[in-house]
Chains A and B, each alone.
Chain A
Amino acid sequence: ELKVEQNPLFLSMQEGKNYTIYCNYSTTSDRLYWYRQDPGKSLESLFVLLSNGAVKQEGRLMASLDTKARLSTLHITAAVHDLSATYFCAVGGSQGNLIFGKGTKLSVKP
């Protein structure tokens, strides 16, 4: 059974600081997704990582994938308040569906 573990589950950061969210998964998968969810809202796609060593960046967020270690990271650079949200990683399942981690609730404080 494919399992996805994220850590930390809660993250309180100061503006301007850097931090990394980790996503480990238990079995081989060729697709890794990162989503953002604001309170009361749906999920917004951030990144799709499809190969070992893939790195994608958008603004202050950068995601990477190491399929050998079954690890993806979401790095936050110089955090700003607008990044406060819950971030989910998800791994592609055999049926085309997604298996989600528990999410990391990020709070960026001035």
Chain B
Amino acid sequence: SAVISQKPSRDICQRGTSLTIQCQVDSQVTMMFWYRQQPGQSLTLIATANQGSEATYESGFVIDKFPISRPNLTFSTLTVSNMSPEDSSIYLCSVKGLYQETQYFGPGTRLLVL
């Protein structure tokens, strides 16, 4: 199984600011995803992080608001830009290896926007 770390684990931010979340995996993986889990809700896919190219965003999520980078096979960042209280959520990184069926999730970043 993959070991995934996320930084920061939690943060409290002021509206209008931006926060970059890092996701680091201990092994090379083919696919990396970013999900959002709003309080008491299920998980919603934000985007697929593609290595060396632009991320693929789901409907309702745009690059200007959630820019994503993936410079290599083990690392990705998600930025939440120009934050508002509605962005308060848990942001989770998920990975899948080439010959694995299981998708593993990082510990999550708990974001509160005031």
Contact = CB atoms under 8 A, between A and B. Distances in A.
A33 B33 CA distance: 16
Contacts of B103: 33, 45, 98
B108 A42 contact: yes
A42 to B, nearest CB: 5
Contact of B43 (A41, A45, A88): A88
B42 A42 contact: no
A45 B103 CA distance: 8
A102 B101 contact: no
Given A45-B103, A45-B104, A96 B92 contact: no
Interface residues of A, number: 21
B102 interface: yes
Given A33-B103, A97-B33, A97-B48, A43 B42 contact: no
Contact of A98 (B41, B94, B108): B94
Given A31-B101, A42-B92, A102-B42, A95 B106 contact: no
A98 B106 CA distance: 15
A99 to B, nearest CB: 8
Given A42-B92, A95-B48, A97-B33, A103 B102 contact: no
B106 A42 contact: yes
Nearest to B48: A95
A98 B102 contact: no
B79 to A, nearest CB: 20
Which 8 pairs, one residue from A and one from B, show the smallest C-beta to C-beta distance?
A: A43-B105, A100-B42, A100-B43, A48-B101, A42-B107, A102-B42, A42-B105, A96-B31
14 contacts: A41-B107, A42-B92, A42-B105, A42-B106, A43-B43, A45-B104, A88-B43, A90-B43, A95-B56, A96-B31, A97-B48, A98-B94, A99-B45, A100-B43
Interface of B: 31, 33, 41-45, 48, 56, 92, 94, 96, 101-108
